[in-house]
Structure 1
């Protein structure tokens, strides 16, 4: 049975959650952190994923890729890329398909990986983190993505999940997942005919800001409006602080950290820590050792200085709130609660700006870092065929209108707006077309002017085949089931032809008809399903061969990482054995080895040590094992003698203790018998005394 897995794929850190033990648990990683850095790094032999990648980021900055979710499904020529590129330290290149890839040095060679591959690598890493921590079987996952993701980006994320060997049961908007977390675990929501609770969820994470207006009832959630600023987040505050100190240090220490990527990254990391300290304190020192050119830098900043520094950012807080309220068609006064999530919402001045935008106090009843992952895990559990979860219905909202068009074969309309803007999804629409043969359909955004620049208008295309006309028939009706699925992807779920058949229907007898009256029938024309048609989709998803190629490549890299880890582990085991055995040979093992054995083994240990730090420094796993077993073949014999003697000592000590215990017990019994005998004598003497008076 697969354990439902929810992944909040964050820009800076990701949170993992599973549904088990009748609840939702956050999964800690290999260093017991409740979040994992969303980092993929490349080294001389293996990849550095998650925590390891973050640890090595400064020293391996050009070969470390971050901000993964910002480039998945994004075109290199997209207007967003110009803003995104400044946050990357690795080299980003344009791939043959126009998408973004990262060029890195891996295993001594220059390699280029697509954003889908890189994201798949990270998801594969966290998949194994969950498996190792929970000992569970994983096949399904629900991934939370930004609400502003286009259809192309959602397909790309689903492909990345498949590269990692998982089934994406749902690609859900992160703000909606947080809303599910709120609705499922709140016990005081209105029921029945009561007015729904209106909650504004504000999520400001590392890279983006989303505001969503939601209506809650017990077991039910409906998204009323969602707006966002996809270039507003914690990283913008970090960069503002870093740029401030870059100017200061240029004059104060005569160094320009902008010219040195490693130095800039070190100040950026320290700026993030300073921002967090100033969230709880009014002032904080700032110092970094040996930033560049062996120069140590130090300064300080007050909360007031930070607030002045980020004023241009704070001016952008109101816009998403205003647009979300307008889309929901409600006023700020009608909002019952404003719930904050996302790490950046801890900044006091930002919280005040949000509070001012709504004109009411803020609430933080949700876990700001974990609410999205928990909601995603619950959604994955809903899709599980083996788990029973409490009923919870939720609907998201279409941010843009989507229309379907088709080949014009007869004199009728050739397009139709199927999913209007602000309508709810998942949803299904049935349409009937009159066709003269096989045809194609296309889904596209209705209003091109509403789209961001460079986002394609076309969403998907389908070839419908198998249409057969009867003799003399000019056209045939075709029924199509159009669907916006739970992941927000537009599909054609079913297509079939219709035919009219004549059936006989019994005419009801009048009330005064005799009991033996014969039933009467009439002929009625009914439309029924005739032939199921073949649907061939052409979407943004990778084709089967390309996807299988990426899956195989990821499996190879995972096996390579595993081999490198195991090789290093065997090398460390050999090194530890050499030093441990040498020390014990001089001490506790000394009495149990002959001089000849000591001389031989000492020589072998020295040779093994020399080999380990010379020719064997970068050897293969089998050679480390062979060297270990060669030393152990003699060392274990001596160790066996030592253990045998120790066992003798233990047995002798145990026998001595048992003899002592038996002696003590015998003495105790003897003393007890003596006491009983004396007591009997005293009783007998007392009975023998006679009074002669």
Structure 2
């Protein structure tokens, strides 16, 4: 059984697996420990991960990135419009949701963000299968802590489309905290150790204040800057060099999307060099109009034009500390996670805020995926993991509203069921008095702290089959609401209860104590006859009630349609890959057999055979680079079989001769050793040794 943690990043996706030796981050087909979070479409198949990155510039109009920023968003969301400048493909409205329009199999295709993330997860699944050599199903996927209910449901839908079973959606900072705490053997038993987990990735800045005790962690508070990350530094660099090159070379890079992509790739490398050096060069060949450009940037210059970004660094830190009720002195350690935390000016700003050295005990690029793998191992029956409880929190307050009952005029019509920083998972039970079915609306209450453009509505739940009691009174209906492990809110169940009378035995000691108090401790009371039972009223569940739910989860019909489409595209990808593999195998065999025909196979082939095979090889090679450059898998297999039919007898003669030569050498060695008086036991040539005579008798 697989135990997999997936860090679904905006730039890269990292995969970790739990093995008996610990947690390992697995590599992809190009031996990289992180896979680009890109999906690209071509004339014959899709390109997922590394292949998409390879042709991102040449096929940018059919390549979609920033998938984590798109999933679960509505088309009219202002933050979706921000992402347009980072994505080459055209973003479109798909029934109110954001999607992308691409050219696939020589025709226009429109896919939702959920489908695009499902395609990426399909790639993650295949990479993991190739590594583990076993089926992959159970996973834990990390998401930003600020993800809304709708976004979380969309990630679960994408995982389902890809054939995965998410045991949990875990917040990025919580995953890092788990990876930090579960390996610590010195955590205190009583007074908690408070640690600040700071994660600055490609597009997101998250802070969590976490309290650690032996065997558990509790998230005290979280804070975010949803538009602060490594790509914002890249944009600042792109703007700087675009302006410089316009004056220096008289070219307008921003007028050419491909030129912008080339510059973006170059500044990303420059940024990494500047993190370790005081200055770094940039050089791009043929960026546009056959123009080569180059320049040098000093670290001080970078820090100067990113000052507006640096001024925002302390805002989430202050908010997280205030919400936790702690001071800077209460923080035991400041753990840094995420690729952007390598930027020196960022590190200095955070270190100065806390007044202490930063800690980098966690792997900045892999901490989230490792923590997610630990979470998966905890939930999986396949692994025995050290007991470690994770108490997370919900970032947004959630309320339930309903229509008032006509016969109860002063009834409240709303209730804050899950306040901000409510524990996750968590269950609450609401009691209603009703004579007929009723509806509950679930929504966020504070628009100001929600991601811009997020609809407050979470879901609508209608409790059915509610009727008056036999006496015509209100039925007592209890509704169970829950925030589950994924951080998703739902009305899990509803039931109608009735009040019944029960005869309950009264403990004798309690009766005697009561009588003693009433009669001033008269010792004679102890012998007085008293009743041993009493009548009590209790609520008893009478029947479960059906619930009709409307929320952000895909409908069954749409889910099935998306699964079918993903399956057909995956089959197309597999067929193209197998076809390319057969083509490469044929090409490789052509050159191999031709070389050997002129060398080691030459003594074993007649001149006629050489002529026939040589002509066949030439004809096949000409076909391969003409008509066969793009054909079906079966044609490549057929061509290979034609060559094997002619070359097979020649190859067999060669192998027979080699085997005969080997046997002669072995016999000569045995004869030499026997001549020297050595006792040599000859082999049986693979046959079973003769049965001893006494064993034959027994049989």
Decide: shared fold, TM above 0.5: yes
Please say which of residues 292-301 and 652-661 is displaced more in the overlay.
652-661
For 1:381-460, list aligned pairs within 5 A: 381-409=377-405, 410-411=407-408, 412-460=411-459
Please say which of residues 171-180 and 23-32 is displaced more in the overlay.
23-32
CA distance in 2, matches of 1:437, 1:455: 33
Partner SS, residue 647 of structure 2: helix
Write out per-residue CA displacement over residues 34-77 of structure 1, whole angstroms, 9 at most, x where no aligned residue: 11111111122111111111112122221111111010011221
For 1:241-252, list aligned pairs within 5 A: 241-252=237-248
Residues 1:145 and 2:157 are matched in the alignment: no
Give the equivalent residue in structure 2 for 1:602. 614
CA distance in 2, matches of 1:645, 1:220: 69
Give the equivalent residue in structure 2 for 1:500. 499
CA distance in 1, matches of 2:240, 2:537: 79
CA distance in 1, matches of 2:382, 2:159: 22
Give the equivalent residue in structure 2 for 1:325. 321
The structure 2 residue matched to 1:213, chosen from 209, 222, 230, is: 209
Give the equivalent residue in structure 2 for 1:375. 371
Partner SS, residue 361 of structure 1: coil
The structure 2 residue matched to 1:117, chosen from 112, 115, 118, is: 115
Give the equivalent residue in structure 2 for 1:676. none
CA distance in 2, matches of 1:13, 1:154: 19
Give the equivalent residue in structure 2 for 1:638. 650
Give the equivalent residue in structure 1 for 2:263. 267
| 8 A Cα contact 2:590 2:617, kept in partner | yes
For 1:498-537, list aligned pairs within 5 A: 498-508=497-507, 521-537=533-549
The total of aligned residue pairs comes to 663
Residues 1:489 and 2:500 are matched in the alignment: no
| 8 A Cα contact 1:327 1:422, kept in partner | no
C-alpha change, 1:22 and 1:603, in structure 2 (3 Å) is closer
CA distance in 1, matches of 2:485, 2:248: 56
Deviation, structure 1 residue 26: 1.3
Give the equivalent residue in structure 2 for 1:189. 187
Deviation, structure 1 residue 453: 4.0
The structure 1 residue matched to 2:582, chosen from 566, 570, 595, is: 570
Please say which of residues 49-58 and 18-27 is displaced more in the overlay.
18-27
CA distance in 2, matches of 1:247, 1:335: 43
Give the equivalent residue in structure 2 for 1:681. none
Deviation, structure 1 residue 538: 1.0
Deviation, structure 1 residue 377: 1.2
| 8 A Cα contact 2:79 2:453, kept in partner | no
Partner SS, residue 231 of structure 1: coil
Write out per-residue CA displacement over residues 344-389 of structure 1, whole angstroms, 9 at most, x where no aligned residue: 1011111001112222221111111111111111112222234322
CA distance in 1, matches of 2:631, 2:414: 66
Partner SS, residue 321 of structure 2: helix
Q: Which segments of structure 1 move beyond 6 Å, counting only runs of 4 or more? A: 510-515
Deviation, structure 1 residue 270: 1.1
Give the equivalent residue in structure 1 for 2:277. 281
Deviation, structure 1 residue 109: 1.4
Partner SS, residue 336 of structure 1: strand
CA distance in 2, matches of 1:187, 1:523: 54
Q: Which protein is bigger by CA-based radius of gyration? A: 1
Give the equivalent residue in structure 1 for 2:474. 475
CA distance in 2, matches of 1:619, 1:378: 46
* Structure 1 residue ranges without an equivalent (≥5): 668-693
Write out per-residue CA displacement over residues 570-615 of structure 1, whole angstroms, 9 at most, x where no aligned residue: 1111111222222222222222122222222222112111211111
Give the equivalent residue in structure 2 for 1:65. 64
Partner SS, residue 186 of structure 1: coil
Give the equivalent residue in structure 1 for 2:286. 290
Deviation, structure 1 residue 155: 0.8
CA distance in 2, matches of 1:451, 1:317: 20
CA distance in 1, matches of 2:423, 2:543: 31
Give the equivalent residue in structure 2 for 1:300. 296
| 8 A Cα contact 2:39 2:49, kept in partner | yes
Give the equivalent residue in structure 2 for 1:591. 603
Partner SS, residue 421 of structure 1: coil
CA distance in 2, matches of 1:518, 1:441: 49
Partner SS, residue 650 of structure 1: helix
Deviation, structure 1 residue 520: 5.3
Write out per-residue CA displacement over residues 99-137 of structure 1, whole angstroms, 9 at most, x where no aligned residue: 111111112112111100000000110111111101233
Give the equivalent residue in structure 1 for 2:234. 238
Give the equivalent residue in structure 1 for 2:105. 107
Please say which of residues 300-309 and 385-394 is displaced more in the overlay.
385-394
C-alpha change, 1:550 and 1:592, in structure 2 (3 Å) is same
| 8 A Cα contact 2:463 2:547, kept in partner | yes
| 8 A Cα contact 2:466 2:545, kept in partner | yes
The structure 1 residue matched to 2:177, chosen from 172, 176, 179, is: 179
| 8 A Cα contact 1:19 1:25, kept in partner | yes
* Structure 2 residue ranges without an equivalent (≥5): 513-523, 680-699
Deviation, structure 1 residue 659: 2.7
CA RMSD of aligned residues (A): 2.0
CA distance in 1, matches of 2:641, 2:247: 61
Residues 1:653 and 2:651 are matched in the alignment: no
Give the equivalent residue in structure 2 for 1:228. 224
TM-score (norm 2): 0.91
CA distance in 1, matches of 2:151, 2:507: 58
C-alpha change, 1:605 and 1:386, in structure 2 (3 Å) is closer
Residues 1:314 and 2:310 are matched in the alignment: yes
Partner SS, residue 182 of structure 2: helix
